[in-house]
Structure 1
Amino acid sequence: MRIVISGGGTGGHIYPALALIKEIKKVNKEATFIYIGTDNGLESKIVPRDNIPFKSITISGFKRKISFDNVKTIFRFLKGTADAKKLIKDFNADVVIGTGGYVCGPVVFAAAKLKIPTLIHEQNSVPGLTNKFLSRYVDKVAICFEEAKAFFPNEKVVYTGNPRASEVLHRNGDEGRRSIGLSNDKKTVLIVGGSRGARPINDAFLEVLPEAGKRDYQFLYVTGEVHYEKVMNEVNKLGNPSNIFIRPFIHNMPEVLAAIDLIVARAGATTLAEVTALGLPSILIPSPYVTNNHQEKNANALSKNGAALVRLEKELDGQQLLTDIDDILLNQSKWEKMHLASKQLGKQDAAKVLYEVINQLAKRNH
C-alpha cells in the first residue's frame, strides 16, 4: 500500500498523522509513505526525525476577513494543487490522507481530482475551514468527537477517534516517575499549559504555591520554556516546596502521563485523546485564543460525559484551581467516576480503526 499523508501547522495535525503511520507500519510491513507539508511549517522539522520521506509545496491559509492576501492564496492553492498532483502521480499513491491544516487542502483536493481514494481526519469538535472545504470532495471523513458530525456530509462520516491516543497506551509509568524524580507513594497532579505554556495557568498556580506545598500529594508543574525563568524566580521567593516538581518542558510525555492521577491542561484535541486513552480525570482550561473557540467545545464534550471539570480562563484563580484539585484527588469515589467516564470515551483504538477504513479505500483503487 502506497500512502500519501498531509497535515501541518500545529502538532495537533502532525502527531496524529505520525501515530497513524506507526500503526500502519506495524500491521502492514509493505506500506510505504510520503508526507507532504510546507518548508516553513512545524512538520518540516518533526516528520523527517521519524525517517519519513518529506516533500513540500508552497501554500498559505485564507484570512477570515476580506484581504488582498486571499487573492495570493488562491493562486498559491492552484500552484500547490498542480505540484501535489505531480508528487502523488510520481509516488503512484493508493490513498491520500489529510489530517488538517491548510497544507492538506491542495494535496487532498489534487488526489480527489485524480480519482484517488481520499480521507480527512478531523481532531476537533468544530472543524477548520480546510476540512469543511475538503469534505465535499473526499470519500471519507474520520472524526474524534460526535459533535463534529453535524458539519460534514452524513454518509461520509466515520467515528474513529484520534490515533495519537495509541501513543500513550502501554507506556511505563514507573519510567515516567523516575525521569522526574516523583515519589512512588504519593498521588500526582500534572499542571501543563501546552508546549509553550500558558501564562494565566502559571499565574493562578503561583498564587497558591505555598498552600499547595502543604498538600500530601505532589505536583508536576510544566511552565513552558518561555515562562520558566520568570516562574522560577517567583518560586524561589516563595520557598520552592519539596512536593512541587517544576520543568520547562516534558520530552517523554507518554511515560509521564502514565504516571499521574489527574491533569490540569488546555483542551487541545491531542491532549484530550491522550487523557481519555488513559482514563485520566482532568480539569480543563480551554484556550480562548483558538479558531471558533473549538477548545471550549472539545472540553465540554468531556465534561458532559462526566470525564472532566471545565473552568474558563476568565474565571480562573489560584484558590479555585487548588479547591478543584482537592475535590477530585482527595475524593476517591469522584476520582473513580471521572476515571471510568474518561476511559469510556477513549476505549476505541483509533489507529486500528482508521487503518481498516484506509485499507478498504486502497482496495477500491485496485
Structure 2
Amino acid sequence: MTSILLAGGGTTGHISPMLAIGRELRETHLDRDVIALGTADGLEADIVPRAGFELLTIDKVPMPRSIGASALKFPKRFADTISDVKRIIADRDVEAVVGVGGYVCPPAFIAAKQAKIPLIVHEANAKPGMANRLGAVLTKPGMVGVTFPDTKLRNSTLVGMPMPTEITALDRSDSTQRQAWRADLGLRDDRPVLVVTGGSSGAQRINDAFLAAAPVCQDKGVQVLHITGAGKDDALREAAAELPDYHVVDYVDGMHRAYAVADLLVARSGAATVSEATVVGVPALYVPLAIGNGEQRLNAAGSVRAGASLLVDNADFTASTVTEQILPLVTDGARLDAMHRAALGLAYPTNAATTMATIVTRALRG
C-alpha cells in the first residue's frame, strides 16, 4: 500500500495540527497509509502513537549555533538523516510528504525533493520557522498553508489552524453543556472561572505569579483552573490545597472542555492556543514566550488589535498583573462579552484540516 508521510514534532504546537491533518487524510485517502515521522525523544514519541498513528523516528540533528565539535559533525549527521528519510520513502512507498515544522522537517523536505514526490507544508506561527522556510522554497505554489493572514511565506495560501472537531464545533452559548463540564472539572456554577495554562511545557513565570496571588483569587470569589503541565510546580499545588476554589491539574483531557468553562483564559500565545481560543470566542490575556523568533507576540497581534485579547510581556507578568488586571477583568461581564464578540468577528477559518487534505489530494493528482 502507498503512504503519505507526516513530518513534525517537538512541541504540541506542531503535533496537534499534524494529527488533525492526518485524521482528515485518513478519511479522504482510504487506499493509503498515513504515517508519521518524528524523533524518539520528542513529545511525538508518546502523543502520536496514542492518537493511533504509526511513528517512525530519525535522529534529531539541530543546526549548530556556534563553531565547535557539533558544527564539524553536523554535515555528515544531517546527510545521514536525509538518507534515513529517503529509505523510509522507498520502503513505505511514500507518495507525498506533509511537514508542519520541527527538527525532522528539513531532512524530510530535502528527501522529498530528491525523491521527486510532492511536498506540502503547514506553518502554524505568524513568523515562519527555519524548517518551513526551507520547505516553502522547495515546494510549488499553493502547496504551503499558513494560519494567520499576515504571515509572509513563499508559495503560501491562508488556510487557518488545523484543529480537532471538538473545538471547531464547540458552542460556548450552550449553558447546559458548560454546566456539565464545569461539574466534571470540579468547578462550581455560581462563580466566574479563570483558566490558566502554560501549554504542554508549562510556564514558570505564570505559575510564580499565580502562586503569590492565589489567595486573592479565592478572596475575590474567582475559581481558577490552573493547568501547570506534567510534573510542574509542586509549590503551587501545595498552596492550592488550602484553597477550595483553586484547582491545579497537570493537564485537561480535551482542551475544548477548558475553553468551554472559561470566562477568561490566561496563556502563552502559541499559534494553536491563539487560533483555538479565537475560533471558540474565549476572551484571553496572552503572555508570549520570550524566546525564539518573537513569533508568539506576532501570533497574538491580530487578536489584540481586534480587542479580543490583551497581551502582557513575560518580564512584566507578576502577581500584581493578576490582582490588578486579570481579576477585575474576569468579573466584568460586559467587557468579556465584547471580547468574545471581537474574537468571533475575526472569523478565523475552521476548516483548515480539510483544506490541507484537499491540497494534498491536488498534489497527488499532479
State the TM-score, normalizing by the size of structure 2.
Answer: 0.89
1:307 aligns with 308
Matches within 5 A, 1:1-366: 2-139=3-140, 140-149=143-152, 152-153=153-154, 156-164=155-163, 166-170=165-169, 173-236=178-241, 240-288=242-290, 290-343=291-344, 344-364=346-366
Which deviates the most, 266-275 or 340-349?
A: 340-349
Partner SS state of residue 266, structure 2: strand
- Secondary structure of the residue that 1:230 maps to in structure 2? helix
Indicate if the aligned counterparts of 2:13 and 2:271 stay in contact, CA closer than 8 A.
yes
| TM-aligned CA deviation for residue 123 of structure 1 | 0.9
- Structure 1 Cα separation of the partners of residues 22 and 101 of structure 2: 15
Letter in 2 for 1:246: V
Note the C-alpha offset of 1:219.
Answer: 1.5
Compared CA separation, residues 119 and 347, structure 1 to 2 (3 A): closer
Q: Any idea what SS the aligned residue of 1:360 has?
A: helix
C-alpha contact 2:168 2:350 (8 A) present in aligned 1: no
Tell whether the 8 Å contact from 1:5 to 1:96 is kept in structure 2 after alignment.
Answer: yes
User: For the residues of structure 2 that align with 1:225 and 1:39, how far apart are their CA atoms?
Assistant: 19
Structure 1 distance, partners of 2:306, 2:207, is 28
User: What is the Cα deviation at residue 132 of structure 1?
Assistant: 1.6
- 1:101: Cα distance to partner? 0.5
| Partners of 1:107 and 1:182 in 2: CA distance | 45
What is the one-letter code of the residue matched to 2:167?
Answer: V
Structure 1 pair 182–334 and aligned structure 2 pair: CA distance change class (3 A) = same
Partner amino acid, structure 2, of 1:199: Q
Distance 1:323 1:27 in 2: 50
- Is the Cα–Cα contact under 8 Å of residues 125 and 298 in structure 1 kept in the other structure? yes
Q: What is the identity, as a one-letter code, of the residue corresponding to 2:279?
A: A
1:161–1:359 Cα change, 3 Å: same
Whether contact under 8 Å (1:165, 1:350) holds in the other structure is: no
Aligned AA (2:216): E
What SS class does the counterpart of residue 292 from structure 1 fall into? coil
Deviations 1:108-166 (A, max 9, x none): 211122221111111111122211222210222211123321xx22xx11111111254
In the TM superposition, residue 76 of structure 1 has moved relative to its aligned partner by 1.9
* 2:243 match: secondary structure: coil
- Identity level (%): 29
Q: What code does the residue aligned with 2:147 have?
A: C
TM (norm. structure 1) is 0.89
Question: How large is the RMSD of aligned CA atoms in angstroms?
Answer: 2.2
Report the 3-state secondary structure (helix = DSSP H, G, I; strand = E; otherwise coil) of the residue aligned with 1:94.
strand
Distance 2:162 2:49 in 1: 19
Q: Alignment partner of 1:102: what SS?
A: coil
Report the CA distance between 1:190 and its aligned residue.
0.1
8 Å contact kept, 2:162–2:350: no
CA shift for structure 1 position 327: 4.2
Q: What is the CA-CA distance between 1:7 and the residue it aligns to?
A: 0.4
SS in 1 for 2:169: coil
CA apart distance, 1:167:
4.6
SS at match of 1:148: coil
What letter matches 1:291 in structure 2? G
Q: Compared with structure 1, are the counterparts of its residues 63 and 352 closer, same or farther at alpha carbon in structure 2 (3 Å cutoff)?
A: same
CA distance in 1, matches of 2:233, 2:292: 27
Q: CA deviation at 1:86?
A: 2.0
Amino acid at match of 1:161: G
Moved more, 84-93 or 27-36: 27-36
